[in-house]
Amino acid sequence: MRSRDMTRRPGWPGYAAAVWGFAFAVPSFYWALGGVTGASSTVAPALVQLARDRDPAFLTVLWVTGALKVVGGLLGLALARRRAWGLGMSRLLQFLAWGAGVLLVWHGALFVGQGLLMQAHVIDLDPALQPINRWYTYLWGPWFLAGGVALVLAARARFDRTDRRGATIAGAVGGLGALLLSAAALVLGVG
């Protein structure tokens, strides 16, 4: 019954999350390898300068974020798998998907919300940065939101009903942990 139930679940959210992760890793690796074409009009000038200067700390961040995006793509593929995993793996997938999904939705919502407030002149912004702000508001923010929503939908489609309590706890811990981590980073001014 369990494997039969799994074959009826939609795999597309997991595949969407996989495509999102793999596609989003490309710019990170491109910038880490020294490419900056197109970045100066779509990314904050300070970040572009760090990439041009080949700052070792920033290059490390680019490689790590690229690798994490690949892991997100692999997570999407694992969630799209139609055959049942064991309980431990099922719980781990719920924990990771909800944690990453909440982080991405939160990050994207901050980009969109802050960008809209800047465009409404509620938050001051150097007029020279308005074009870049629009990229963050209408491309990068929604892109993060899309990745987060894809992971959450994939987690829900993958939810193991035979382990309702364990899967729910794992997902809740992942999601709430990500939310607390994000809130702490926001309060501390990190990231």
The per-residue pLDDT for range 81-90, each reduced to its tens digit, is 877 778 888 8
- Of 71, 140, 136, nearest in space to 99 by CA: 71
What pTM value is reported for the model? 0.85
Predicted confidence at residue 64, as pLDDT, reads 95
**Cα torsion at 188, 124, 65, 59 (round to 10°)?**
-100
Distances (CA, A) of 83 to 35, 77, 150, 160, 183: 40, 12, 20, 11, 36
pLDDT tier at 166, thresholds 50, 70, 90: confident
Predicted confidence at residue 159, as pLDDT, reads 76
The residue ranking higher by pLDDT, 159 or 107, is 107
Please tell me the least confidently modeled range out of 14-23, 26-35, 40-49: 40-49
pLDDT digits (tens, 9 = 90+) for 40-67: 888 888 888 999 999 999 999 999 999 9
Average pLDDT over residues 145-168: 86
- What is the Cα–Cα distance from 182 to 39, expressed in whole angstroms? 26
**98 is in which domain, residue-wise?**
2-188
- What is the Cα–Cα distance from 104 to 100, expressed in whole angstroms? 6
pLDDT digits (tens, 9 = 90+) for 91-145: 899 999 999 999 999 999 999 999 999 999 999 998 888 999 999 999 999 999 9
| SS3 call for 113 | helix
- What is the Cα–Cα distance from 92 to 1, expressed in whole angstroms? 22
- What is the Cα–Cα distance from 57 to 155, expressed in whole angstroms? 33
CA dihedral for 149, 151, 152, 153, sign (positive or negative): positive
Domains held by the chain: number:
1
